[in-house]
A and B are shown apart, each in its own frame.
Chain A
Amino acid sequence: MRRETVHAWLLLTPALALLVAFTHWPAVATLWDSLSSTPRGARPAHWVGLANFAALMDDPVFFQALWNNFIYAIATIPVSVVLALAMALAVNRAIPGRAALRMAFFLPTMLPMIAIANIWLFFYTPDYGLLDQVLGALGFGRHNWLGDPALALPSLIAVAVWKEAGFFMIFYLAALQSLPPVLREAGALEGASDWYYLRRVTLPLLMPTTLFVLVNAVVNAFRLVDHVVVMTHGGPDNATNLLLYYIYETGFRFMDTATAAALTVVLLVILGALAGFQFGVLGRRVYYR
């Protein structure tokens, strides 16, 4: 079977080469960079061991970004996935105006995050933005949605959920539509309530979709920071600083590539651990038959 091996590698190589060159190699290079100092002007990089990581341990902004990202993830992931499922269930039924509703849910997904951020910036404007106008009419006071540390991160989370839920809905919808209708009929014959049917039949059958959606949601929670760039720059006082934004800020605004590399290593470790968890623990049951 030598020939098959050669052929297989010929087929694999182009994709594999690019994949390794822009994912695996930079990951390794990042690890290496994180152990050197930042080259600046006339001072070249030199080996510093774990000094960059030690500096991170002294950096309150790093811990805040880490914490923010944790909050951001555990808020956006479940909310957007549950909403996506609810949306899919809603528009999977014969409901008046189904097409329009589907459209409404899906629209935000098609818009670039950067465009969405612009729209929501307007929406969130204190005093005369729509949100404050509506709340004002209901008798509530003024909110500085993006300027108040207590509200800024939740405000960004709302934007992310708004954008992502519709995307995940499509996957659930596709899954729901491919469930055999016989199941539903059988359930109805046995007098199963909607809720019981959903819990005992639909949800288990949707498990692979849920896992797939979860992987996407987790990745996005760490990958998508466009709205931070546009709406808050990580402020106020780092209340909305997320890991990847902090990496961008450190690497490209402060031009401190070594610290950025150390931060990236931390992010890689987190993602690696999550990947291990998802594929190892959750995935074994649902992915590979």
Chain B
Amino acid sequence: MKTNWVLTAASWLLGFLWVMPLLYALWAAIHPSEYATHLSLLAPWTGHNFAVAWAAAPFPRYLLNTFILVTLVLVAQFVLCTPAAYAFARMRFPGREVVFAIVLLQLMVMPDVLLVANYTSLAHLGLVDSILGIALPYLGSAFGIFLLRQTFRQVPQELDDAARLEGSGLLAIIWRVYVPLARPTYVAYGLVSVSYHWNNFLWPLIVTNSVSTRPLTVGLSVFASTDQGVDWSVISAATLMTSAPLLLAFLLFQRQFVQSFMRAGIR
């Protein structure tokens, strides 16, 4: 039992280390500026920093932009990757392995590293400074196709055959047989996708030029990059505020997420 006690203590120490930066930010956010760096039990509490941050930048608009962005990406990825995954999982056609390998390349070479060329493409399409422009490079997702393909391959072929005998078309089979059975995969993939795009920064920074398209991350960076000197308390407040929705969502659905990861076989 001795080792267990040591392990538990070590786990807790690690856990404490892990939340400490966040607790520090929280401390700074809920106390007046002059206490930001002086940890004192007597420090008065305040919501002032949150109020200042909220009023200072169009965070509701940024939040809306991010929400539109992640929704657009998620829906498009589901709609695009599902049929492609099915084709790779269940159909036979010449060149399948080659095409699949080409798709998988994107697991390593993500659009994130092709900033300059993709920006040029967007400029040609006239999509710079639009939410669609931020989303576009990520819509065809190799990760999504790969994940769904693995799941679809585990669906019993008999279900497919049965639906076919009933006269269902290809899309109907995918929709009625495969999609419902792959729900955990969709949830898990959805979580990965949403957190990825909620948190994405460099590409949106390059693409967006205005308040009406900036996602939260870019908004936050423009908010925090000040030449007049930073106010740690207000920045901490803004940081926590902008991260809150995702944190909250995770708190609420924690168990489901882990379970869907488990069942999706992402492991």
- Is B116 touching A30 in the complex (CB atoms < 8 A)? yes
The majority secondary structure among interface residues of chain B is helix
Taking the closest CB of chain A, its distance from the CB of B57, in whole angstroms, is 14
- Is B24 touching A119 in the complex (CB atoms < 8 A)? yes
Tally of A-B residue pairs with Cβ under 8 A?
Answer: 291
The majority secondary structure among interface residues of chain A is helix
Question: Given A9-B93, A101-B15, are A260 and B140 also a contact pair (CB < 8 Å)?
Answer: no
Question: Given A107-B18, A122-B28, are A170 and B257 also a contact pair (CB < 8 Å)?
Answer: yes
- Is A251 touching B115 in the complex (CB atoms < 8 A)? yes
A257 to B120, CA, bound (A): 10
Taking the closest CB of chain A, its distance from the CB of B216, in whole angstroms, is 7
- Is A248 touching B115 in the complex (CB atoms < 8 A)? yes
- Residue A57 CB within 8 A of the other chain: no
- Is B116 touching A106 in the complex (CB atoms < 8 A)? no
Taking the closest CB of chain A, its distance from the CB of B112, in whole angstroms, is 5
Nearest opposing residue in chain A for B137, CB measure: A22
Q: Of A104, A208, A229, which is within 8 A of B267 by CB?
A: A208
Question: Given A114-B201, A122-B236, are A33 and B116 also a contact pair (CB < 8 Å)?
Answer: yes
Please indicate the chain B residues that have their CB under 8 angstroms from the CB of A171 in the complex: 261, 266-267
Question: Given A30-B114, A229-B202, A268-B109, are A16 and B24 also a contact pair (CB < 8 Å)?
Answer: no
- Scan B92-127; emit 1 where CB is below 8 A from any A CB, else 0: 111010010011111111111111111011000000
Please classify how large the interface on chain B is, using the bins under 10, 10 to 19, 20 to 34, 35 or more: 35 or more
Q: Say which one of A70-78, A91-99, A144-152 lies at the interface with B.
A: A91-99
- Scan A152-169; emit 1 where CB is below 8 A from any B CB, else 0: 000000000010001000
Please indicate the chain A residues that have their CB under 8 angstroms from the CB of B81 in the complex: 15
Please indicate the chain A residues that have their CB under 8 angstroms from the CB of B103 in the complex: 16, 19
Please indicate the chain B residues that have their CB under 8 angstroms from the CB of A20 in the complex: 102, 140
Please indicate the chain B residues that have their CB under 8 angstroms from the CB of A23 in the complex: 105-106, 109-111, 114, 137, 140, 142
Instruction: Given contacts A8-B92, A22-B121, A279-B104, list 13 more A-B pairs with CB under 8 A.
Output: A18-B80, A26-B117, A30-B116, A95-B7, A109-B195, A111-B246, A122-B28, A122-B236, A171-B267, A173-B261, A209-B267, A264-B117, A278-B108
